Amino acid sequence: MRRNLLLAACAAALLFSCTREEQPLTHPATADPAPEEVYTLVAGFEGSEPSEDPTRTILSLDDATSQASVLWTAGDSFTMVGGSYRATYTTTQSGPYVTFTTPYSVGTPCYSFYPASRFGGRGSVNGEIILIAPVPSQQNAVPGGVENGLNLAVAYSATQTADLTFHNVLSYIRFRISGEAVSSVKSVTFDAGTTVAGDMTVTGIPSGNPSSNFNTNWTPAKEERASKIVLSGDFVAGVDYLIALAPCTVNGFNMLFEDAEGHRIRRHSDKSITFQRSRILDFGTIGIGDAFPTADTGEGLIQYRQATRGQRPVDICVISEGFRTEELPLFTELAENAIGFLFNVEPYKTYKDYFNVYFMKVPSEESGASITDGNGTVTTRRDTYFGAKWGADSYDDMVADMATVFGYVSEHCPEIVAGTHTIDEVPVLMIINDDRYGGINHVYSNGRSYCMAPYTYSGGSMTWNYPEWIPKDDIGPAAGARARTEADLAELGVCEGDWRNTMLHEFGGHCIGRLHDEYWYNSYYSTPVPVGGHSWQVPVGLNITEDRENPTWKAELLDIQDQLVAMDPHYGRIGVFQGAGTEIYNKWRSEKISCMIDNRRYFSAWQRILIVKRILQLAGETYSADAFFAADVTDDPIRDEAANAVMGHTGVDAPRLMPPLPPPVMHP
């Protein structure tokens, strides 16, 4: 079908361009033609209007009006389902409206899906009819448009013979490429870091404003979920190309341009943007230069971010582990994704201009990491630069050769080499080319710290839950515990993500922020166990307390909570809640849920204060409560940003339910 849908071409303030403001769909007044007979239905599209070119067969973009119009074409088919009825309709006509005839008349509500060839099925969730819209992750490049059949659309009618108005369910990226290297491009990959393709659930169809998500698993899958869409073909400089994707919100993304030999050119943006249904988001012209790199040079240093605030930069070093020389481009891609993810979470997003970020490409002889028996003894050895290792089915013994880690960073971090910083002030993120689950942070009393984050499940989806048992009250252990309920999960939400969420917890929470875990096991201790690290030279774990009456956040939050709530109701979430530091009783935290429990993209108010204090200390600046609260952003994306529900899962598989990772290893 070439539908006569008017799509507004929207501009985004991206890394690549900023050209036009977003425009809504237009709905010109057009009279529907009358049905020719009882069993004839007329199909059109929202915003339809007659066209001067009814035989157009590709998406046509009007640069003057920023609109795209597509028409029905002879041979187009859609599927209609209603009750036990299912049929495929095919037209012999072309134009903005076409007619379909049927010998049947079904007087029940009907749902229609275009194109029939891509229909994924019908189901019901909580009594609501859903249609499955399979969004392909492999698409063919079409100059000026999208591949035939990628204009997925749905319609609702009270009966089988009622006229139809189809509504688009996808979003689109429009871009052009410049540079002499364009003639060598064979594929363009949009790497979103969140699910943008696969079997998508479409709901709300009768309303005329359908919504979609990836919250329902569908078996068998017609299209596997994917966080990348690959557009393949021969490309020409200056020509419009479009990528069809699921509506979603992304927190940074990559555009990867690849030639026939697999050489890549990467363009990155760390912007948060939202792709809306029936919108074209214009990326503008992306320059890729005159030639593809023919090889990776191996070991090297990349400065990814440069500080523009502070008396001195706050340095971060990201090092590769288990990447052979030819795999180092993958490390660079993962490092960009990880740091982009970190700096799209508060308070790092607000304070990101304080940071220098260095990527250190360190080749290993073998891929992956060594495997242990779970107690530190290596059973399968991998020849890697930093000697990373942990158990095949456990991760409590996860460790690397610390002397090599800190020695390498000390020799290559520019500020340490120049003598303005010490290794004790530079948190280190080690990205490991291993698909096992894991993640841990090693921390010293003087501030030295490194975090290990494997590329778990090669970016596949994971989910983490609130603990299964919860104290009955927040006073002490006397009242006992109760089982977690569905109501608890409904209140707090469930975190779904990927390896970057564990990185956020381990690196953003433990390594930089020096926070302790706030989850707990189902263990019982009759007497409080002191929180380790509070009295260290550089304190650790000030986010939890064993003193319920005088928690560490009392003076700065609880004593002024009424004033804070008057500024922002989200500060009403602050309290003193039992369960923290891996113990269900006798340790307390400041909010019910945060990144330090289930790896979500949310640090509590007290955690944000501690992180900002650490950033400003390293930057040579003084913390001011007034300045902090003036800049503070309190939203939890899972609980507060309903529009982000369409983000769905963030990998290629249905999410795996994972246990919490071990607490940080504390070295004197």
Give the per-residue pLDDT at 487.
93
State the pLDDT at residue 8. 34
Cβ atoms of residues 419 and 413 within 8 Å = no
- 223/351 same-domain check: no
- Give a yes or no: residue 611 inside a domain: yes
- Where does a domain end: 243, 258, 287? 287
Whether residues 580 and 479 fall in one domain = yes
Longest dimension (CA), the chain: 86
205/172 Cα distance (integer angstroms): 20
Residue 530 lies in a domain: yes
End-of-domain residue from the set 256, 287, 318: 287
The phi, psi pair for 645, rounded to 5°, reads -60, -25
* Nearest of 604, 581, 577 to residue 662 by alpha carbon: 581
Lowest mean pLDDT among 15-24, 80-89, 303-312, 465-474: 15-24
1 within a domain of the structure (yes/no): no
Range of the domain at 75: 7-287
- Is 489 within a domain? yes
154 in the same domain as 222: yes
pLDDT of residue 144: 86
Q: Which residue has the tokens 């989200």?
A: 570
Note whether 354 and 465 are same-domain residues.
Answer: yes
Number of structural domains in the chain: 2
Which range has the worst mean pLDDT, 13-27, 263-277, 391-405, 501-515? 13-27
- Asked if residues 241 and 167 have their Cβ atoms less than 8 Å apart, the reply is no
Res. 99: pLDDT tops 60: yes
Q: Residue 620: inside a domain, yes or no?
A: yes
Q: Which residues pair with 483 in a beta bridge?
A: 469
Contact 273, 345 (CB under 8 A): no
329, part of any domain:
yes
Q: What is the CATH number of the domain that holds 544?
A: 3.40.390.10
Q: Are 278 and 314 members of one domain?
A: no
Answer yes or no: do 57 and 193 share one domain: yes
Worst-scoring range by mean pLDDT, 264-268, 299-303, 343-347, 475-479?
A: 264-268
Most confident of 97-106, 302-311, 504-513: 504-513
Same domain for 72 and 179?
Answer: yes
Residue given tokens 């491009």 in the structure block: 185
398-430 b/e with 16+ CB inside 10 Å = b?
bbbebeebbebbeebbebbeeeebebebbbbbb
Looking at the fold, whether 221 and 176 belong to one and the same domain comes out as: yes
Whether 330 and 356 share a structural domain: yes
Convert the pLDDT of each residue in 403-452 to its tens digit: 999 999 999 999 999 999 999 999 999 999 999 999 999 999 999 999 99
Residues 194 and 308 grouped into a single domain = no
Q: How far is CA 234 from CA 184, 282, 292, in A?
A: 8, 21, 16
**Mean pLDDT, residues 166-173 taken together:** 91
Do 309 and 248 lie in one domain? The reply is no
Q: What is the per-residue pLDDT for 97?
A: 79
**3-class DSSP assignment, residue 353:** helix
Q: Which residue has the higher pLDDT, 640 or 630?
A: 630
Band (pLDDT 50/70/90 cuts) for residue 261 is confident
* Tens digit of each residue's pLDDT (9 = 90 or more) over 329-354: 999 999 999 999 999 999 999 999 99
C-alpha torsion angle, residues 626, 631, 634, 637 (rounded to 10)? -170
How do residues 110-159 score in pLDDT, each as one tens digit? 999 999 999 999 988 888 899 999 999 999 999 988 888 888 999 999 88
pLDDT at residue 72 tops 60: yes
pLDDT at residue 221, as a whole number: 73
- Which band of pLDDT confidence, cut at 50, 70 and 90, is reported for residue 44? low
Q: Which of 287, 316, 337 is a domain's end point? A: 287
Tens digit of pLDDT for each residue in 209-240?
999 988 777 667 788 888 889 999 999 999 99
Mention every residue, 6+ apart, whose C-beta is less than 8 A from residue 577: 474, 588, 589, 590, 591, 592
Are residues 200 and 305 both part of a single domain? no
Residue 300: the pLDDT is: 85
Q: Locate tokens 């009594």: which residue?
A: 127
For residue 292, being part of any structural domain is answered with no
- pLDDT tier for residue 68 given thresholds of 50, 70 and 90: very low
